[in-house]
Chains A and B, each alone.
Chain A
Amino acid sequence: AQKITQTQPGMFVQEKEAVTLDCTYDTSDQSYGLFWYKQPSSGEMIFLIYQGSYDEQNATEGRYSLNFQKARKSANLVISASQLGDSAMYFCAMREGFSGNQFYFGTGTSLTVIP
């Protein structure tokens, strides 16, 4: 079974609008971390936001927030007030357990911001 599932291969959003990128995960661990990365066309991987499994509040970092629904095993990324520079691939990832050493990545979502 896939550890991380991103079901939206491509998304479009109007500039200044908000957009939600979906991510579901599969783990039997009680302790895990969820990460989102951005990959612009230049190719580098940029860390955006982190959510721990024991965190009771949703993580926020500037215009990025993570909608964490533990019972549903979902960790959706919300980008508010989209900008043209947000056009990129977005990857959801998970690291399991207190001593977990492997990161599992989804297949990514390509976001295009339309002016």
Chain B
Amino acid sequence: NAGVTQTPKFQVLKTGQSMTLQCAQDMNHEYMSWYRQDPGMGLRLIHYSVGAGITDQGEVPNGYNVSRSTTEDFPLRLLSAAPSQTSVYFCASSYSSGLSTDTQYFGPGTRLTVL
């Protein structure tokens, strides 16, 4: 199993550009989420999904869009990049079995810089 994969690992954008961060998992997890990590602020939830076709907003959704057409994939789209979106982005997945015991498995992260 590859676990949770993310591409690209690094990306530099200019203000106003759009792009998609890819995330895929091969563990058949229902629950997938996107976080951004900024210094001193921990991980903040951007969007999450509890299954194909179902997404919801997290704590910091503005400027980001998601969709979930398959169980495996959960791409994050930056609509019009801004310098404030410079961050490290993590994708994570877990089972959603109705128990709170299920830990999340994280991808390796994408380091995004917006100039």
**Quick one: given A50-B103, A101-B48, are A106 and B42 in contact (CB under 8 Å)?**
yes
Other-chain contact of A103, B45, B56, B101 (Cβ < 8 Å): B45
Other-chain contact of A107, B40, B48, B58, B88 (Cβ < 8 Å): B40
Q: How far is the CB of B111 from chain A (nearest CB, A)?
A: 8
Question: What CA separation (Å) do A105 and B101 show in the bound complex?
Answer: 16
Question: What CA separation (Å) do A67 and B98 show in the bound complex?
Answer: 25
B105 within 8 A of A: yes
Other-chain contact of B101, A44, A52, A108 (Cβ < 8 Å): A52
**Quick one: given A101-B96, A107-B42, are A43 and B101 in contact (CB under 8 Å)?**
no
Q: How many residues of A contact B (CB 8 A)?
A: 31
Question: What CA separation (Å) do A71 and B29 show in the bound complex?
Answer: 33
**Quick one: given A100-B100, A101-B48, are A107 and B41 in contact (CB under 8 Å)?**
yes
Chain B contact residues, CB within 8 Å of chain A: 31, 33, 35, 40-45, 48, 50, 56, 58, 88, 90, 92, 96, 98-106, 108-109
A/B interface sample: 5 pairs, CB < 8 A: A33-B102, A47-B103, A101-B56, A105-B43, A107-B42
Chain A contact residues, CB within 8 Å of chain B: 4, 6, 9, 31-33, 35, 37, 43-45, 47, 50, 52-53, 91, 93, 95-108
